[in-house]
Structures are given as structure tokens and as C-alpha cells.
Amino acid sequence: MGLSLSLTPGAAEEEEKTYDVAIIGGGPAGTSAAIYTARADLKTIVIDKGLTAGALGMTSKIENYPGVPEPVTGAELVERMRRQAERFGAEFVQDKILSTELEGDVKVLWGGEATYKARAVVIATGSMGRGKRVPGEDEFLGRGVSYCATCDAAFFRDKVVAVVGSNDEAVEEALHLTKFVSRLHMIVPTSEIKAEPALVAELTANPKVEVLLSTRLRAVEGNGTVTGVRVAPRGGDEQVLPVHGAFIYLQGARPITDFLDGQLSLSPGGCLPVDDEYRTEIPGVYAVGDVICDHVKQAVVAAAEGVIAALAIDRYLHGRKSTRADWS
Ligand SMILES: Cc1cc2nc3c(=O)[nH]c(=O)nc-3n(C[C@H](O)[C@H](O)[C@H](O)COP(=O)(O)OP(=O)(O)OC[C@H]3O[C@@H](n4cnc5c(N)ncnc54)[C@H](O)[C@@H]3O)c2cc1C
């Protein structure tokens, strides 16, 4: 009796921490799904790595989103969508999902900051991932090259590092690194840092930080581990900055699926195949927005897909039959 009493609260706590729906990516696709799942009383969490890390969040002006006649920045539009989802009870956390276990009734997502469990998962990570790497990047991955300061900053205590990127994610990761490193070169490919002004001000005021604007990363150099980064300032000569670590947050145009570790099959173009209710091949796992194949890359389309998936998830979690054909 005593034993069962002591076990019961643990089980209840575990149940308490398991969400009905975990959504990876808080762009228009993920946030619209959250509005509908939260409003359907499903316990919903949205995990997003940064407001300006997605396609909409980084867009300077949107004029064609229905119901928003005045031009707004993409970040403002995403922010409004997130507030709407929060009003219905959706929880938003800033974290980057690094790996997942999607099989089974309870799915597990590992982020840099925490682990999340849910009975259904929506993948809405967009297509701002990179395909092509710079020379040396793959060779020194895990030996000085990193994509996660939260995970790896402590290895660079009192060392010199480079952070490469221009969005909120890059700046936040750089700010985290400043607590550990002796010096940080912020290599920004654009002519200004395209992140929240308060974050940029905090970074540039830090005496450990040197910002190099309009500068491209050409290669990561090393000998067993990273020894430097080769950079090219616009209109100037290439130079090698001696560093022990290179944290890279550049964007491209490839679906972001690296955290899946091959658990879902991808099309030759690297996107996630889904059926007409946005179900992937694993039950309880859905994909919406720019991360899927045959998709028109517009915010309103991504939002609509999020809504269709949310309605399908409600049916899935309540054991109701879909009106559509099954994957098989
Ligand atoms: C320059 C540009 C201009 C555009 N202009 C327009 C326009 O005028 N009108 C229009 O309708 N559409 C426009 N688009 C297209 C539109 O922005 C996209 O179709 C839409 O944003 C796709 O939505 P999404 O939610 O699928 O992806 P995204 O908006 O890319 O959002 C994905 C989210 O996932 C998060 N994420 C990614 N990986 C992880 C991870 N591992 N862990 C946690 N979070 C993660 C990102 O931080 C991001 O917030 C434009 C796109 C670009 C690039």
C-alpha cells in the first residue's frame, strides 16, 4: 500500500508533463495548428528556436496575408499569431529540437534546454535549412563546429569562438556563449544584424564581442580540431581568424528535418511526404508548411495546412475515424 502510494504521484506527475500535442516550429504553420488544438482543449506546446529564424519571421514586409491590410513585418505577424494561440492556452517555449523518438504512443522530443513528451507531434520547421556546407564544416562537426551553444558552450570556456549568422537565434546563441568564452567574433553575412534590436544592442555592447558585418564564412580550418575560420569581407581580402570553435547559424532553402535522424523517409528534395490530412508515415506525427513536399510557399497556405492537421489530430487523439483514406 505504502509502495503504491509513493509511486502514484510520480505517475501523475509524468502524465501531467505529457502534452497532447507538441508542435516543432512556431511559424504560420505551427502557430495556426496551435490555435486550433489549444482551442479544442488539447494541451499544446509550441517549441521554436527563434522568432526571426523562420521564413516568415525574417521577412521585412508582408502585404498579402488576408485580414491584415496594412503592411507588417513578418516577425510582427508571427508574434500576433502566437499571442492568439496563447490566448487559447497554447504554451510557447524557445528551444531548438535536436533529436526525436517518434514511434509509440508517447513521442519524445529532445531540445537544447529540455525534453518534451506528447501524444501527437506536428513538424512545422519550415525550409530555411542549409544543404551546402562550407569546406571543413562537416569534417570538424563535433570537433569545434557546433550548431548549439546551449549544448556546447561549456567546452569553450576561456577560448575564442566565431558565431556565424544574422538572426535572433544567432544573436541569442552568441549572448549565451559570451558567459563562457574569452572572445567572440560575430560574423554577419548581411550589412546589419537582422535580429531584435534589444538583443543586438546587448551583443554589441559586450566587450568580448567583435562584430564583422557583410562578411561571409568561406571555410572552417583545423588540424584534428578547429583552429580558425576563413572569412571574406565584402570588397576586402579573405583572412583567417584564429578560433577554437565555430557556431554556425546560416540559412538556406532546404526543409529542416535534421533532428529526425532518419525516422521519417524524405523525398529526393529533402521534404516530408504527407497524406491529405498532413499525416506522415508514423501514426500521431504530422507535418505542415514549407517542410512538406508539393507545397505553395505562402504564409496563408502554411497556416491552412496547420489547421487541417490540427483537426485531424483532434480526431486521432479522441479515437475518431478519419473521413480520409489511410496511409497504407
Ligand atoms: C524572403 C521571403 C519573403 C516571403 N514573403 C512572403 C509574402 O510576402 N507573403 C507570403 O504569404 N509568404 C511569403 N514568404 C513565404 C512564407 O514566409 C513561408 O511560406 C511561410 O513562412 C512558411 O511557414 P512555416 O511555418 O512552414 O515555416 P517558417 O515560417 O519558416 O517557420 C518555421 C519555424 O520553425 C522554427 N524551427 C526550425 N527548426 C527548428 C527546430 N529544430 N527546433 C525548434 N524550432 C525550429 C523556426 O524558428 C521558425 O520559427 C516569404 C518567404 C521568404 C523567405
> Which DSSP string corresponds to 204-273?
HT-TTEEEETTEEEEEEEEESEEEEEEEEETTS--EEEE-SEEEEE---SB---GGGTTSS---TTSPBP
Number of structural domains in the chain? 2
Nearest-CA residue for ligand 1 atom 48 is 54
Give the number of the atom of ligand 1 that is nearest the alpha carbon of residue 301. Answer: 19
- Rounded CA separation 219/136 (Å): 6
CATH code (residue 296): 3.50.50.60
Residues 155 and 241 in one domain: yes
How far does residue 146's CA lie from ligand 1's centre (Å)? 23
Q: Give pLDDT, residue 215.
A: 98
For residue 51, the model assigns a pLDDT of 87
* Interval 205-225 mean pLDDT: 98
Q: Which ligand 1 atom is at minimum distance from the Cα of 50?
A: 47
Residue 30, class by beta-carbon neighbours within 10 Å (0-12 exposed, 13-18 middle, 19+ buried)?
Answer: buried
Confidence of residue 294 (pLDDT cuts 50, 70, 90): confident
Please report, as a single letter, which amino acid is at residue 51. L
pLDDT at 184 over 50: yes
* pLDDT band with cut points at 50, 70 and 90 for residue 12: low
- Which residues in 175-199 are b (16+ Cβ under 10 Å) and which e? bbbbebbebbbbbbbeeebbbbeeb
- Residues 226 and 277 grouped into a single domain: no
| Residue 21: strand, helix, or coil | strand
**Domain stops at, among 225, 249, 273:** 249
Q: How far is CA 291 from the centre of its chain?
A: 12
On whether residue 39 sits in a domain, the answer given is: yes
Q: Are residues 19 and 124 in the same domain?
A: yes
Name which of 66-70, 130-134, 197-201, 274-278 the model is least confident about: 130-134
In-domain check, residue 212: yes
User: What distance in Å separates the CA atoms of residue 187 and residue 207, rounded to the nearest whole number?
Assistant: 16
Residues 258 and 124 in one domain: yes
Single out the residue of 138, 109, 140 nearest to residue 245, CA to CA. Answer: 140
CB atoms near residue 66 (< 10 Å): 8
Q: Is 326 contained in some domain?
A: no
CB atoms within 10 A of CB 305: 28
**How many CB atoms neighbour CB 204 within 10 A?**
13
Residues 261 and 112 reside in one and the same domain = yes
In this structure, the answer to whether residues 115 and 170 fall within a common structural domain is no
> What average pLDDT does the chain have?
92
Measuring from atom 38 of ligand 1, which residue has the nearest CA? 125
Rounded average pLDDT over 222-248: 97
Q: Does residue 217 fall inside a structural domain? A: yes
Cβ-in-10-Å burial (0-12, 13-18, 19+) of 40 comes to: middle
Tell me what pLDDT residue 325 has. Answer: 43
- 26 lies in the same domain as 52: yes
- Report the pLDDT averaged over residues 258-262: 95
Whether 231 and 303 share a structural domain: no
Give a yes or no: residue 134 inside a domain: no
- Domain encompassing residue 291: 13-129+254-317
Of 199, 233, 249, the position where a domain reaches its end is: 249
Q: What is the largest CA-CA distance in the chain?
A: 76
Q: Is residue 81 part of a domain?
A: yes
What is the reported pLDDT for 289? 98
CA-based nearest residue to 112, from 163, 154, 165, 148: 148
User: Considering 48, 95, 152, 168, which one is annotated as catalytic?
Assistant: 152
**Position 198 in a domain:** yes
34 is a domain residue: yes
Residue 326 has pLDDT above 80, yes or no: no
Whether residue 194 is found in the same domain as residue 230: yes
175 and 197 together in one domain:
yes
- Residue ending a domain, choose from 219, 249, 279: 249
Catalytic (active site) residue 271? no
Residues 203 and 119 in one domain: no
% of the chain surpassing 70 pLDDT: 93
In the prediction, which pLDDT does 5 show?
Answer: 40
Q: What is the pLDDT of residue 7?
A: 44
Supply the pLDDT for residue 4. Answer: 37
On whether both 31 and 118 belong to a single domain, the answer is yes
pTM (predicted TM-score): 0.90
